[in-house]
Chain A
Amino acid sequence: MSRPGFVLEVDERTPPLIVHRGEGFGLESFPLGTKVLYPPDSLPGIRDVGGAITAALDAPLDSEPLDELLTAGMALTIVFDDISIPLPQMVTPDIRQRVIEAVLERAAAAGVDDVELIAANALHRRMTPAELQRMVGERVFRSFWPDHLRNHDAEDPDGLTHIGETDQGETVEINRRAASSDLIVYVNVNLVPMSGGHKSVPVGLASYRSLRPHHNVHTLQRSRSFMDPPNSAMHHSYERMGTLLADSGVRVFTIETTLNNDTFPKEFAFLNKREWEWSLRDQASYLAAKRGNDLAPAGLRRKVWQRVASPYGVTGVNAGATGPVHERTLASIHRQQLVEVEGQSDVLVFGLPFICPYNVNSIMNPILVMCLGLGYYFNMYRNKPPVREGGTLILFHPTPWEFHQVHHPSYVDFFDEVLSETTDPATIETKFEQQYATDPWYIHLYRHSYAYHGVHPFYMWYWGAHAMEHLGDVILVGANRPAVARMGFRSASTFADALEMASDTVGRSPSITYLHSPPLTLADVR
């Protein structure tokens, strides 16, 4: 039995603790009394993943077995989560490959020959052929690429179907091939509680028009948190859209998978552990890894980190109707990530790692740093944030003023043009979103190059809207100062300096919570 999540209270015997800082990490001493939130130990992975897949497909929740849904002459569309999940990428074979292969075998046996595979990349950049091949496996890739295995194109006027409006007036418009299929099989990897469920089809296959109803400042400020679907206005919107899709006859067979917390490979295994339990070997590999990393030139360092593949174990495979499947998924995620903590603190600390959903094989630009810290990490809570309203958030990340020119062209302009004028999410949304969303150049790059959609940096900024509203102060440690200032935050050279600066807001002896992550930790704040 793995140990549950754990809250460490820092005392005299506590060693310095691992803090991620982009393409690097270090040990940091925390003030006495700091509460450190550790996730539960990594759950054991399922030994027989193939067997689990078979079982799920044969005995789905609230649905006929998959075989009964597959008939000769039907149109089948297999849709799968794109490269933004999981993080880091998992060692091959990716769980999606295993599931897709199992589905395709059954489809072949049933005589289904109209099969299409679509990556649910919404407004994310297209996946490259190599990335697709890595995800679905060589056999599937060879059989379907490029005509029957492709990226969703949210700007293809002929490739979208308008389904209708929800009772709240939300436009639902999704991929035409998927909508017109007799069956959509959605293959998911659920790393955080935000994804999966009705986020999969209505969001992953949507158009800009159909994302606007929930990807906006108003909704995000009312999603507390967006990692807690029952309390997330964004998820309520997803659900209305999912219901409308089902009511209009779009049949979805959902297959969701969950992973354990084996985030780091052998050479970084110490990053998966609690520091006081490090063996001598862990200490040695920490020192070696740290020295190697600190000495490596930036380009090489990035290459090394981007090559990290996680040896995740699979903790759940559930199939059937979206609602019940996702309930099981969430339970499994909670088992792996949830830690209960008593009360809010004045200061919350995160060490941000090298990766977020939008810089796989890419660069984590300053806007993505903001999104990872104030969006993803800040929202890793249930009930209430681990930091009180008006409190201080301290982030560790170097935040270089650096952008991937192919992947993030509209981010470059957003950073220079929009953020130099205002950092207020609502103002940004009103004044700039339309222009960027409809810019024909960004649309061209999204469709034909490998660029995130023109509107994507706006979503990143909205992702932080709830945190910005809640927090009194945001301080980045060891970051590029002009980049941080552009985003309206403050910079400190060291953790001690950051605490000193925070004393304006939270006094000299604030209570501190450190969310120790990755591996992922979800705080359940009582």
Chain B
Amino acid sequence: MSLSLELYRSRSRYLAAKAVGGRIPGALAGPIAPLRLVNRDEPRTPAAGWVRVRPRLAGICGSDLATLSGQSSFYFSPLVSMPFVPGHEVVGELLDDVAPAPDPGPDAPASRRDGLAAGTRVVLDPVLSCGARGVGPCRWCAEGQRSRCDRVTVGHVSPGLQTGYCADTGGGWGRRLVAHRDQLHAIPDTLPDKRAVLVEPLACAVHSVRRAGIEPGQSVVVVGAGTVGLFTLLALRSLTQAASVTVVAKHDRQRELAAAFGATDVVAPDRAVNALRRSSRAFLLHPERGTDFLLGGVDVAFEATGASSGLDLALRTVRAGGRVVLAGLPGARADLTPVWYRELELVGAYASGQSPERVSDFDTAIAMATEAPLDGVVSATYPLQRWREAIDHAFAAGRLGALKVTFAPQEE
């Protein structure tokens, strides 16, 4: 048996959570959360290539909170299997040896060629794609773009776009999970757990920055300065030659970190349109209702709040022909008029992938996790038993000056 937090299907709780989600502090971690602490059977390895992993730290992500609060779209319902153990930002250790891959390919990394020994510390690429599911590669998996896999509902495990949304694999918020060889990335001994647990969200940030296709000298705004926004900023600074990166941040601690991570300018949400107008020398227009917008504006925006207001701001401050990247799970709807009128490119960026030179975003993220000034980014760590406090803390992270809240599933 293994202690886990389990997200179960409860329509009434789901609706209650959706109704008050995020608005009443404590309500989500209280009686209405569709989450419970249970002893479940340990997940079993479903096929060859799968191994058991003992999570050491697992992050609480914005998408987890959206799921808990019923804010995520019903679109996802066929892409998950209930009940599941959440947790897709994981650093753990292998309980089994990982056998070498049968067909490692000519430029496969050492871990695929040689396998990995039990006890190795690994981070998890949570995507459950063709390889893990034991089905022949779809066109995306064949290209190495596993986040785009078309087969995430079939094969050896139940539907689930990622570990942390699949009924069979367990997740980071439990004491055991099972993972496929394709999901594992060994990490160096020099990378402490508190940094390693950030590799998955860093890999996502690397991916969304690659998706943005930023040219040298371009101007960028990152709307939101939670983990997604700040990691996007780090990735922008390490992977692009953007001339300026303005970060829209609500809370003091976020502002400090944005400055420390290399933002050209950090502005409050109510100042953002004016500040971006200034920096881009655009014209400012006041619609009869709704937010002001620019004619002119920045080249590329990243939406990293998950809120309508964030997407609205991004769409209204990007120049004609510019690009808006949905870097986090989009929470709600926005007025798409500027996409049409300003001929914007709206770009999604989900999970991670690889560079055109076929360097895995995870490898890039592991290097960033080692070098970037990430001390203190993991603001709090809770044992599973204190999940209500952990969830509350994560929900109020911005206000409380926290960034990433994690579980240490093996601790009491």
A residues adjacent to B (C-beta < 8 A): 412-413, 416-417, 435, 439-441, 444
B274 CB–A CB distance under 8 Å:
yes
CA distance A7 to B139 in the complex (A): 92
- Give Cα A241–Cα B396 distance, bound, in whole angstroms: 62
Minimum CB–CB distance from B252 to chain A (whole Å) comes to: 13
- Interchain CA distance A441-B275 in the complex, whole Å: 13
A444 contacts B283, CB within 8 Å? yes
Instruction: Name the contact of A412 in the complex, choosing from B274, B281, B282 (C-beta under 8 A).
Output: B274
**CA distance in complex: A417, B278 (Å):** 9
- A-B contacts, 18 of them at CB < 8 A, read A412-B274, A413-B274, A413-B275, A413-B278, A416-B271, A416-B274, A416-B275, A417-B275, A417-B278, A435-B278, A439-B278, A439-B281, A440-B283, A441-B277, A441-B281, A441-B282, A441-B283, A441-B284
Q: Bound state CA distance, A412 and B292, in angstroms? A: 15
Q: Which 10 A-B pairs have the closest CB atoms?
A: A441-B283, A413-B278, A416-B271, A439-B281, A413-B274, A440-B281, A441-B284, A417-B278, A417-B275, A441-B277
> 17 other contacts beyond A412-B274, A417-B275, A441-B281, with CB at 8 A cut-off?
A413-B274, A413-B275, A413-B278, A416-B271, A416-B274, A416-B275, A417-B278, A435-B278, A439-B278, A439-B281, A440-B281, A440-B283, A441-B277, A441-B282, A441-B283, A441-B284, A444-B283
CA distance A444 to B284 in the complex (A): 11
Per the bound structure, the CA–CA distance linking A435 and B275 in Å amounts to 13
Question: In the complex, what residues of B have CB within 8 A of residue A439's CB?
Answer: 278, 281
CA A416 to CA B279, docked complex, whole Å: 13
* B283 proximity list for chain A (CB < 8 A): 440-441, 444
Q: How long is the Cα–Cα vector from A435 to B280 in the complex, in angstroms?
A: 11
Q: Which residues of A contact B281 (CB under 8 A)?
A: 439-441
Q: A412 — which chain B residues lie within 8 A by C-beta?
A: 274
**Proximity bits, B7-47, A CB within 8 Å = 1, else 0:** 00000000000000000000000000000000000000000
Residue of A at shortest CB range from B294? A441
Q: How far is the CB of B288 from chain A (nearest CB, A)?
A: 16
Complex contacts, B275 vs chain A, CB 8 Å: 413, 416-417
Distance, CA A412 to CA B277, complexed state (A):
13
Distance between Cα atoms of A439 and B280 in the complex (Å): 9
Shortest C-beta distance, A364 to chain B (Å), equals 21
* Chain B contacts for A435, CB-based, 8 A: 278
- In whole Å, how far is B246's beta carbon from the nearest beta carbon of chain A? 11
CA of A416 to CA of B284 in the docked complex: distance in angstroms? 17
B373-392: which have CB < 8 Å to A? none
Compute how far the CA of A389 lies from the CA of B99 in the bound complex, rounded to whole angstroms: 81
A432 nearest CB across to chain B (Å): 10
Residues of B within 8 A of A444 (CB): 283
Question: Which residue on chain B has the smallest CB distance to residue A441?
Answer: B283
Measured CA separation A444–B271 after assembly (Å)? 21
Please indicate the chain B residues that have their CB under 8 angstroms from the CB of A417 in the complex.
275, 278
Within 8 A of A (CB), among B49-87: none
Q: Which of A416, A439, A440 has the most CB of B within 10 A?
A: A416
Please name all residues of chain B whose beta carbon is closer than 8 Å to the beta carbon of A416 when the two chains form the complex.
Answer: 271, 274-275
Residue of A nearest to B284 (CB): A441
B239-282 near A? 1/0 per residue, CB < 8 Å: 00000000000000000000000000000000100110110011
Once the chains are docked, how many angstroms separate the CA of A128 from the CA of B27?
A: 55
CA distance in complex: A97, B282 (Å) = 40
Query: In the bound complex, how far is the Cα of B276 from the Cα of A413, in angstroms?
Result: 11
Cα A54 to Cα B278 in complex, Å, equals 51
Measured CA separation A441–B277 after assembly (Å): 9
Bound Cα distance from A204 to B278, whole angstroms = 27
Chain B minimum-CB-distance residue to A454:
B278
Q: Determine the residue in chain A with the shortest Cβ distance to B278.
A: A413
Expressed in whole angstroms, the Cα–Cα distance for A240 and B25 within the complex equals: 68
Q: How far is the CA of A217 from the CA of B220 in the complex (A)?
A: 33
Residue of B nearest to A432 (CB): B278
Residues of A near B277 (CB, < 8 A) are 441
Smallest CB gap from A444: residue in B: B283
For the complex, what is the distance from the CA of A439 to the CA of B275, rounded to whole Å? 13
User: Once the chains are docked, how many angstroms separate the CA of A257 from the CA of B274?
Assistant: 42
Chain A residue nearest in CB terms to B268: A416
Considering only CB atoms, which chain A residue lies closest to B295 in the complex? Answer: A441
Smallest distance from the beta carbon of A215 to chain B beta carbons, Å? 21
Cβ–Cβ < 8 Å partners of B284 in chain A: 441
The distance in angstroms between the C-alpha atoms of A7 and B141, with both chains bound, is 90
Q: A435 to B278, alpha carbons, bound, how many Å?
A: 9
User: Within the assembled complex, what's the spacing in Å between the Cα atoms of A180 and B284?
Assistant: 36
Shortest C-beta distance, B271 to chain A (Å), equals 6
- Tell me the minimal C-beta distance from B278 to chain A in angstroms: 5
Q: Which chain A residues border B271 with CB–CB below 8 Å?
A: 416
Q: Once bound together, how far apart are the Cα atoms of A444 and B274, in whole Å? A: 15
Q: How far is the CA of A412 from the CA of B274 in the complex (A)?
A: 9
Q: How far is the CA of A416 from the CA of B281 in the complex (A)?
A: 16
Task: Give complex CA distance A413, B282 in Å.
Answer: 14
B278 proximity list for chain A (CB < 8 A): 413, 417, 435, 439
In angstroms, how far is the closest chain B Cβ from the Cβ of A208?
Answer: 16
- C-alpha gap A263/B278 in the complex (Å): 40
Instruction: Report the minimal beta-carbon distance from B268 to chain A, rounded to whole angstroms.
Output: 9
Instruction: Give chain B residues whose Cβ lies under 8 Å from the Cβ of A413.
Output: 274-275, 278
Q: How far is the CB of A18 from chain B (nearest CB, A)?
A: 39
User: Which residue of A has the minimal Cβ distance to B286?
Assistant: A405
Tell me how far the C-beta of A391 lies from the nearest C-beta in chain B, rounded to whole angstroms: 35
Nearest residue in B to A414 (C-beta to C-beta)? Answer: B278
Taken together as a complex, chains A and B put the C-alpha atoms of A440 and B281 apart, in Å, by: 7
- Bound-state CA distance A416–B272 (Å) is 11
Nearest chain B CB to A425's CB is how many angstroms away? 20
CB distance from B295 to the nearest CB of A (A): 9
Report Cα–Cα, A216/B275, bound state, in Å: 25
Q: Shortest beta-carbon distance, A417 to chain B, in Å? A: 6
| Chain B CB within 10 Å, residue with most, of A413, A440, A441 | A441
Interchain nearest-CB distance for B166 vs A (Å): 47
Interface string of B145-162 (1 = CB under 8 A from A): 000000000000000000
Assembled-state Cα–Cα distance A439/B276 (Å): 13
Question: Shortest beta-carbon distance, B298 to chain A, in Å?
Answer: 15
CA distance A272 to B74 in the complex (A): 73
B71 to chain A, nearest CB (A): 32
Q: When chains A and B are docked, how far (Å) is the Cα of A450 from the Cα of B399?
A: 40
- Distance in angstroms from B307 CB to nearest chain A CB is 23
